[in-house]
Structures are given as C-alpha cells and as structure tokens.
Amino acid sequence: MGIIEDLKWRGSINQTTDEAGLTDLLKTKKISLYVGVDPTAKSIHIGNLIPLTILKRFQNAGHRPVIVIGGGTGMIGDPSGKATERQLLPPDVFDENVKRITKQLTRLFGKDGFEIVNNYDWLSKLNLISFLRDFGKLFPINVMLKRDVVASRLEVGISFTEFTYQILQAIDFYTLYKEKDVQLQVGGSDQYGNISSGVELIHKMVGPEAKAFGLTVPLLLKSDGTKFGKSAGGAIWLDPDLLSPYEFYQFFYNQSDTDVIKLLKIFTFLNPDEIDQLAKQVAEAPEERAAQKRLAQEVTAFVHGPEAVQEAEKISQILFTGEVQNLTGKQVAAAFSSVPSITIDSGEIPVLDLLTQDNLIEKSKRQAREDLKNGAISINGQKITDVDAVVNPADKFEGHFVIIRRGKKKYFLAKVH
C-alpha cells in the first residue's frame, strides 16, 4: 500500500490539489514536504498533531519533513477560524513561544532527518515595493475574495493585513520550493485556499510544469458531532508544562468505543492488521478497553516518550488501588490537577477543620464526624476514624499536598501555600 492509499484508509485526507500527480511523483522519488506551525501560543495542541503525524509518516517512509514556524506570518495573523482580528503579541512573548514549540517539534521528529525553519527569515527581507511588484501582481482580488477564510470575514470586517496572509503563505511555499526543493504542503482543511494559492504561485513563477502539490486533513469530529481535541479544561496541549503526560494519556484512554478505532487510524503508526484486531476486541470485549489503552500508549509515547507512558500507567494503577501514599509530589500535581481543591497553611490542622474548610468536602462538622466514624474518610491513603485527629501537611508529598478521599471515588486536594 502506497502512502497516499494508506492515508486514505486512515481517513487522513480531506482534499488534494492533484492526487494523481502527487501519487505519480511519490513513485519516482523521495520528496521534501512541509507543515506550517503558528507560534502565537506557548504550545502546539493535538489539532496541530494531525498534519504533523502525516509528516511523520512521510519521514518514516524516507521522505524529508520541513516544519515552518510562522515567525513572520504569526506577526500578521491568519484569519482562518477567527471571527475578529487577532491580537498581536509582544516580540519577547512571540520569541519565547518559538523556542518552546521548536523544542516540542524536535521531540516529535528527532534531531536528524528533518528541518525547522522560520519564515521570518525571508518575509522580513521583503520591502513593500518588491512585495507588490513581484507577488501582488499575481494575485487577482476577485479570487482572493472567494477564499473561504476571507469570505467568512467580509461581513464583520477584515483588515488589509490579514487579507494579505494568503499571499505570505504562498510566498512561503514558493521560497521552500525554490530553496529546499519542497514539493508538498500539508495543512488543515481550513488551509486549502491558502495552500492552493501557494501551488498557483509556484506555477506562475516557475512554470505550469512545476511539480508542487497540496494536501489537507479533515476536521476531526467525534461521533456525537462535536470537535475533537477539547476537554473540560480546554485544549489538549503537547507541552508537558501545560498538560501533564498523565492527563494527556487519560484523555486518549477515555475515548469512546465509537471513536477509538478512527483515532487509532489517524494518530498511531500501527498497521491495518493491528488496528483491525483491536476493532475486533472492541466489538467482542469492550469492557477491557484494549483499544483505548493502546491508543493512549501509542500517542503518549510519540509525543512524550515511552517513559511518560510508564509513569502515566503507574499513576493510574496507584489511583485504582487507592494507595495514593505511594505517589510523589510531582505525580500528585499531575494526577489531581482537575479535582476540587482548597488551599491550607503549612502548619498542623484538625481533621474536622480540614474537611469543612470552604464547605468543599463536608458541609458541616456534624456530617464530617459521621463520615469519619463510618470509615468514609482517607487522608493521604490512610483511613481516618478519629474525629480528634490532627493532619500535618509536612508528613507526605514534600509538604506540598494533602489528598483527601471521601467514599471510594471522590478525591479532593489540599494545596499547601
């Protein structure tokens, strides 16, 4: 199975500018291809991961991926998916984002066999006259107005700055084609117009015979029709400082039976036979969640490394058994980041005061006494029945946390300040 056929089987292709031409090209040579990454956030998220996974598939097949960090275009603002003009970031924030994202991309693609470039390096050298004379003449306004990303903004308004974004992205493709022999751009479905502009520019500047192609990935929706990639806490970031590998693992492990096979196809590098076998297990023994576990393992290993998988599964096992006293402070921070929490002082605190602070755990000391006497309360993994007990935060987790469990499943966290 060729790589285009494999991507189609995985449901990873939305549109191509010339599928037959691209397929023929891939039969004759190893190519260079690129994805653009917007550095206006501190991290890329799993929505970005879909086209990046395609680049990784090409890399595994011997092709050469190039990542373009939008140091220039990010300062302008991509109108795609935005209802209003983008707020431009201060240069120092922008530069820090570029450094963080570069680190994340290196973790995905390794140190060899791929290249990261910044389009600021060439876009910043353009002056207004050369921009208008060399490129502006080649972009008919009537065509630009029909691009989806522009047309959707005409009623509410779009600045000339964001209107020109598609020209700048086209210049990216032309520059990479000319200087690095990049022949394919991969992007999200909302980027098809911009990608097509790049292909058209290359044909106008080089000639209609130039072999340049575009490929977009579909918008990934869950079986209930909602957009994949969001959690109750927001975006699923790839930066471990913004979302712990444990939470990342859990996000994929908690996917539904109806979605998990589709996600295995898109996000993992398992072959069709392995995925078909997991689909059979979902149908015959869904309670085992074998497909979800494999999905979580594969994607977490790709993004954070195999050690992160081991750590996530260790935390999961500890939480399942309730033996939270075996966690480290760092593991507590990762595992309990989303549970209800209170803030306490570092000194000793009576258990009744701890349980009733801010009415978070118990609504009254009477109810707290009842739950203690009934054995429903555990502190740091130890059952507490003494209503006069005193809790010392310094006893566990480097003195930073106290874990309270009421009943079998309800956890609360006290953070020491």
Q: Which residues are annotated as a binding site for L-tyrosine?
A: 34, 165, 169
Residue written as token pair 């479905």: 189
Q: Which two tokens stand for residue 114?
A: 């791929």
Q: Which residues are annotated as a binding site for ATP?
A: 230
Which is nearest to 267 in space by CA: 281, 253, 277?
Answer: 253
Which is nearest to 338 in space by CA: 240, 237, 244, 239?
Answer: 244
State whether the Cα torsion 7-8-11-13 is positive or negative. positive
DSSP string, 312-365: HHHHHHHHHHT-GGG--HHHHHHHTTTS-EEEE-SS-EEHHHHHHGGGSS-S-H
Contact of 356 with 344, CB cutoff 8 Å: no
User: Would you give the DSSP letter of residue 132?
Assistant: I
State how far the Cα of 137 lies from the Cα of 120, in Å rounded to an integer.
22
Q: Count of residues for the chain?
A: 417
Q: Which residues are annotated as a binding site?
A: 34, 165, 169, 230
User: Would you give the DSSP letter of residue 89?
Assistant: P
State how far the Cα of 290 lies from the Cα of 184, in Å rounded to an integer.
36
User: Would you give the DSSP letter of residue 154?
Assistant: T
State how far the Cα of 91 lies from the Cα of 150, in Å rounded to an integer.
26
Helix axes 306-321, 290-304, angle to 10 degrees: 130
CA angle 323, 327, 329 (to 5 degrees): 145
State how far the Cα of 65 lies from the Cα of 99, in Å rounded to an integer.
19
- Reduced to 3 states (helix: H, G, I; strand: E, B; else coil), residue 378 is strand
Burial class (CB in 10 A: 0-12, 13-18, 19+), 365: middle
